[in-house]
Amino acid sequence: MDFKVHNFVRIEVQVPEVGESISSGVLSVWHKKNGDQVRAGEALFSLETDKISTEINAPESGVVSMLVGEGEEVRIGQVVATIEVNSAKASCSTPSSPVEEPKELSTDSPPARSEGKKEKQEDSFPAKGIGVKEDSRITRRRLSPLRKKIAAQLVSAQQSAAILTTFNECDMSAVIGLRKHFQGEFQKQYKVKLGFMSFFIKAVVSALRAVPVVNSRMEGDELIQNHFYNIGVAVGTERGLIVPVLRNCEQRSFADLEWELLKFAAKARSGEIALEDLQDGIFTISNGGVYGSLLSTPILNPPQSGILGMHKIQERATVMQGQIVIRPMMYLALSYDHRIIDGKEAVAFLIHIKDCVENPARLLLVSC
Residue of 6, 181, 280, 342 marked catalytic: 342
Q: Phi and psi (nearest 5°) for 166?
A: -120, 150
Residue of 36, 256, 338, 355 marked catalytic: 338
Residue pair 329/172 in contact by the 8 Å Cβ criterion: yes
The whole-angstrom distance between residue 40's C-alpha and the CA centroid of its chain comes to 27
Active site residue 338: yes
What CA–CA distance (Å, rounded) separates 100 from 178? 59
Active site residue 135: no
Angle, helix 197-210 to helix 343-358, in steps of 10 degrees: 140
What CA–CA distance (Å, rounded) separates 115 from 222? 54
CA angle 229, 231, 236 (to 5 degrees): 175
Catalytic residues: 338, 342
